[in-house]
Structure formats: structure tokens, C-alpha cells
A and B are shown apart, each in its own frame.
Chain A
Amino acid sequence: MSFPWANQYKPQNPFMQWLDSRLPLPRLVYNSVGAGYPVPRNINYWWNFGALAGVALVVQIITGIVLAMHFGGNTLVAFDSVEHIMRDVNYGWLMRYAHANGASFFFIVVYIHIFRGLYYGSYKAPRELVWMLGVVILLLMMATGFMGYVLPWGQMSFWGATVITNLFSAIPLVGDSIVTLLLGGFAVDNATLNRFFSLHYLLPFVIAGVVILKIWSLHIPGSNNPTGIDVKGPADTLPFHPYFTAKDLFGLAIYLLIFCAFVFFLPNFLGHPDNYIPANPLSTPAHIVPEWYFWPFYAILRAFTVDFILPAKLWGVLAMFSSILLLFFLPWLDSSPVKSNRYRPLAKQFFWLLMVDLAILGWVGGLPAEEPYVRISQIASIYYFAHFLIILPIVSRIERPLPLPNSIAESVLGNDVNQAPAPAAQPAE
């Protein structure tokens, strides 16, 4: 699809020829994730996480559909139906633990995927839309994850929903109306649970749709690579199949090993014990915390403690949403012509600072809003915004990048590029 030297789909089987001339679905697969997609030969294991995210989404959808067969989306039975799944449904415990831990692992994989994109400049031209569609997926995932956490109707479900939906009341004029619309009433109740269940079932399929758009958009320029330089010729690439299917399969096996270790041996490690207490509107938990994958953003939300022109709560809400929405502008904030941080000595250091900063934000986000954690979250939030909105635009101006290799092939093969056999040849099948 993307490069003139890409392998062409040539069906041998008469049925496949017949099908290809009427509905070229096998051709689409061949060109998307088969031998017809040339991939830079030098991509490393950090490029495995896109495929892993796809697998994680499929695991969530399959386990989720099975769970929905046994779940009751009503406040009277929701908690009981989850325990019914855990105790009486055949392998129900497996479906639920896989789904609950699957959400965490989906976020782990997607966060690593995003960090990879940040480090190697995958958001830059010509892949801006690939990046922006990814941010859309992240937002959809957050909405889906949040609403999914409400469904078991435990204490954290109920109070998490109360806290998060109440954030919207900070919006001037229309805030309260928005909250009522979100909740389907004036408090978190059956209408809330019902609509969250409906949307929680819908959004994963929206995500799947955006994933298709994202892959489509990705296949125009093709994948980025650790050098960040463009593909120039056949020596730079290898066909996706069998080279990267084989590599991704190994990565997938390792991923599944870690995932299953949690599902089977530490199934509640990432959860909160309070969610095994049925929701009780009359009893507020001592510390209300969202799921761990929201902690950095929760820390930013709570870092705004001073009214300055606007109320502190509104600042917090604005900042929390801005912290993700600013990613949409990243392709234009970072104007350096060099993509990969391998050749950007200054930007690389700030990247690692950002990683440390996010770890700190995640850490304080899960703790109670007490000193010294509040002050730590304020300092960490300052760096977060400064990094993207101030430092990156300036660094990309003043930085002197290291010399880039002439081509991907040269960076891999050294000077014997010309002796290298054309690797795009189809291996024996």
C-alpha cells in the first residue's frame, strides 16, 4: 500500500482469486498486517505495544460480552450479579478477573505505546493524524474504563462516580445541567448505572472503529522507527509478515505470561478492597481513589487548591482535561525536524524527566490529599504543563541535534548496504 516495492497480493487458489475480484478482503488483510506491508527493519520491541493494545482490546470485548450475559444493570442486583458471576457462573471468576485486570493491562500497554511515540517522535509529520486518533482512543478508553468501574456497584464504584461526575459542576452556567444529564437525575442512582452500562458496552466498538482509522492513516507513511528518519528504499524495510508477526507473537507470549500471572495469582492486587463492599450512599469511604491508571490525572486535578480569579475546582478540572487535550497539539508544539530522541540530546533528558514526573504524579494521585503530597503534586503538575507547553517548544528551537544516519539500512548494516541481499523477498511458506 505504502511503498512501491511492497509485495503484491497474488492469490493462487481459484477460490481466493474469485473472492479477490469480488470482495478483496484477503487483500486488505495482506496489505494491512500481512506480507504486503513493508515495515522499517530496525524497529525495536517498543513497537510491539500497538499490536498488544489491539489484543488487549479484543480480550476486553470478548470477556465483556460474556460478562454482560450474566450482569444485571440495576442497582438492586448489580453487586449481587457480579458475585453470582464469581461464584455460580462456570468460569465466571476467570471472565471477571480477566476483564478487570485486562483493563489495567490495556492501559499499561497503551501508556507504554504513547511513551514510545513521545520518545521517537512518532507524532510528527506525516503521522499527526495517527497520533491524534490515538489521543481520541485514549480519551474513549478513559471514559470506558471509568464507566466500567462503576458497574459492580461497590463503594468505590458509587463514590468514584459521584466525585468524577461532580467535576462537571465546576463548569460555569451549564455545569449543573451537565451533571444532571450525565447522571440521569440529581444523584448517582439507577439511571446512572443503566446509562453507564449502555455506554460501557458501546464505546469499545467505537474504539475499534477509531483503531481501524488509525491503522489506515498509519499505513500511508508507514511505521516510524528508532532513527526517526524516513524509509528511502527496499533495503530499509522488511515485510510485516513473517518478520514482525513472528516478533510480535513472541512479545505477545511474554505479555500473556505477565497478564495471566495477575489474573490467576494476584487478581485483586490492582483493585481496591472497598469495591467488595456494596454501594452505600449513606457511608462515604475514608479515601476515595479512582483506578490506578487515573492517578496522574487525579493528582493534577487535586493540585489546584487556591482560588485565583476562577475557583480552584474549575482550575483543577480545566487542568485535568487540558493535560490530555494538549497532546492533540503536540505535533505542532515540537517543531524540531528531528523525530527520534536518539539524536536529540536535550529533548531526551526532558523526556526522562517527564517519565519521572509522571511516576511521581501517579504515586501522589493514589494517596490521600494531605501534606506533603499536595505540595509534591503541585510541583509535579508544574513540570507536566511546563514540559509540553513551554520546554518542548523552546527546546525544539534551540537544540542542536546529533548527525542523523543517511538511511535506516545504513544505520543497521553499516557501510555494506549495497552488499545486503534484498530482504523483501518472500520467504518459503
Chain B
Amino acid sequence: MVRFISIAAGAVFVFVLLIAALAPREASEVDPTYAFHKHPKHDVHWSWDGALGGVFGEFDRAQLQRGFQVYKEVCSACHSLNRIAFRNLEDIGFSEAEVKAIAKNWVTEVPSLDPNTGEATTRPAIPSDKMPLVYANDIAGRAANNNALPPDLSLITKARHDGTNYVYSLMTGYADVPADYPEGRAPGEGLHYNPYFASLGIAMAPPLSDGIVTYAEGQPEATVDQMGQDVAAFLTWAAEPKLEERKRIGLGVMVFLAIFSVLAFLSYRKVWAGIKH
């Protein structure tokens, strides 16, 4: 009885699926701009992607500091980095005194209350503060940017596929609209052609130009490519500040488990010695 019911139920599902599978369907129109979209470049070898597929390798502190400089002098005009506290910058090699100075001199102050009147006010940041938001709210952010909200960058490299390479590609990927680009589909007013951006038209104007920041003595020249790499590295650290700790502990764990596996295998062999199975 169960079998008859099941075969009947199976026949119903199969029949309905067959109708669906055999139903003719209109070939969906392929978006003509789709072919112009590019995957992130893989030209850069990142310092933390070391031997054994990234098991080894650490951040390059000098690069992170350069990247922070680019963020501070260029990106931070529109993009917040609100999940990073100033004190976290000690992780990338700034001294306590330097962090204090960076916080105190930050372009935006942090919200506060007047201790005497209780009125809302602002005060200079201190190391324990998170880096302040750029805009009071999303509406203000959109109003200032042609209705495009500049996202907070704290997690940007984890919130995009292949995030580090994506940020680097986006920074260095601005181009003229190709000659064979479908007519009428060029980015609208206020948008800039960038084949790495999901919609190919990004509201952010090319943020980097050669020499827009001046790197310290002994550092590489501040080309667009160099700054793109540096800021992508910095944002990778900002999204995953525990990356080095994670890999360091992970290595110890793997070594431990490898030894444990060998011992477990040997005890298994010993217990089973002479037992056919």
C-alpha cells in the first residue's frame, strides 16, 4: 500500500516537473553590458598571502601605514571607518603618542555632551574612540554625494567577492567608456565608468591621482597603482585585524593536530594489531 501511494506521489511530482521542464521558455535577453564587466585583477602579490596558500605571511606594517595615510588624506573625506578605534592603529605600528595625536587632530570631532549644560556638542577624539562617522546620517551622506551613499569601509574587503583585489581593481580600474559599448547604456550623469563596479557606473569620481598624497622619505613613489595597493592592504587589515593572530594560532593548532593524528593512528594500529576486520 505504501508503495502504491509513493509511486503515485512520485508520478505526480515527476509529471509536474516534466511539464515545467518541457515548457518552452523565451530566451532571456542577455544584458549587453554584461560582457564588459571584469573580475578583480590578480596582479598583486599581497604580503600576507605567503607560502602554502597564505598559511604564512604577515601584513607589511609600512604598507598599512601608507594605506592609512591614503585613507586619511583621501577616502576619509566621504567614507567612515567606524569599526576601527584610533587605539587599533597601534596594531599597524603607530606609537601611543602618535595615536593620541592622530585622534586629537582628526578632521571630524566625536559627538559628546556638554558637562555643564547637557547640550549636544562635539569634542576632539581620544584613542579609545571609534573613528567618527563622516555624515550625521545616511540622508546627509546621500545629499552630499549625488544621492549615492559612501559606504563605511570597515568591512569592505569582506563584503565583496575577492575583496582585497576588488578594492585595488576598483581604485585603479577607472577608464574611458569603450568605443564598442552599447549605445544608450553609458553611465549616466555624475557616474564614472569602472568595469570592476557591479553596475559599471560608479558615483565616486576617480579618487586617486599620481602624487595626491606625499609618502614619507624612503617609501615608494605615490603612484595610483601603489596607493591602490596600499589602501587595499590597509582596508584588509581594517576588516580582519586578527588575521595574523588567527594564522599564528592556526599554525600551532595544525602542528598539534598533525602530531595528535599520528599518535591516534599508532594507538589505533596497536589496539587492532592481529585483529582481522
Q: Which chain A residues have a beta carbon within 8 Å of chain B's beta carbons?
A: 41-42, 83, 86-87, 93-94, 97, 238, 242-243, 246-247, 249-250, 252-254, 256-257, 260-261, 263-265, 267-268, 273-274, 276-277, 286, 303-306, 308, 312, 315, 319, 322, 326, 329, 332-333, 335, 370-371, 374-375, 378-379, 381-382, 385-386, 388-390, 393-394, 412-413, 420, 423, 427
Contact = CB atoms under 8 A, between A and B. Distances in A.
B159 A260 contact: no
Given A247-B272, A423-B275, A389 B13 contact: yes
B13 A319 contact: yes
Contacts, number: 159
Contact of B14 (A268, A374, A385): A385
Contacts of A423: 275
B14 A253 contact: no
B23 A306 contact: yes
Which has the most chain A C-beta neighbours within 10 Å: B21, B159, B246, B276?
Answer: B21
Contacts of B249: 94, 264
Given A308-B16, A393-B6, A378 B21 contact: yes
B216 interface: no
B21 A379 contact: yes
A311 to B, nearest CB: 12
Contacts of A326: 6, 9
Instruction: Rank and list the top 8 A-B pairs by shortest CB-CB distance, nearest first.
Output: A264-B250, A389-B10, A276-B159, A378-B21, A253-B261, A250-B264, A385-B13, A246-B271
Interface residues of B, number: 56
B271 A87 contact: no
B268 A246 contact: yes
25 contacts: A41-B276, A42-B277, A93-B246, A246-B267, A249-B267, A253-B257, A253-B260, A257-B254, A257-B257, A260-B257, A263-B250, A264-B250, A265-B53, A304-B17, A305-B23, A306-B20, A308-B16, A319-B13, A370-B28, A371-B28, A375-B21, A382-B18, A386-B10, A413-B276, A423-B275
Interface string B1-30: 011001101110110111111010101100
Given A379-B21, A412-B277, 14 more contacts: A83-B155, A250-B265, A260-B250, A273-B158, A273-B163, A276-B158, A306-B23, A371-B25, A371-B28, A378-B21, A382-B17, A385-B14, A390-B7, A390-B14
Interface string B238-277: 0101100111011101100110110011011001100111
A87 B241 contact: yes
Contact of B272 (A246, A257, A260): A246
A247 B270 CA distance: 11
Which has the most chain A C-beta neighbours within 10 Å: B13, B25, B55?
Answer: B13
Chain A binding site: helix, strand, loop or mixed by DSSP?
A: helix
Contact of B16 (A41, A242, A257, A306): A306
A274 B161 CA distance: 9
B42 interface: no
Contacts of B261: 250, 253-254, 257
B275 to A, nearest CB: 6
Contact of B258 (A247, A252, A257): A257
Contacts of A370: 28
Given A304-B17, A332-B2, A265 B271 contact: no
B226 to A, nearest CB: 26
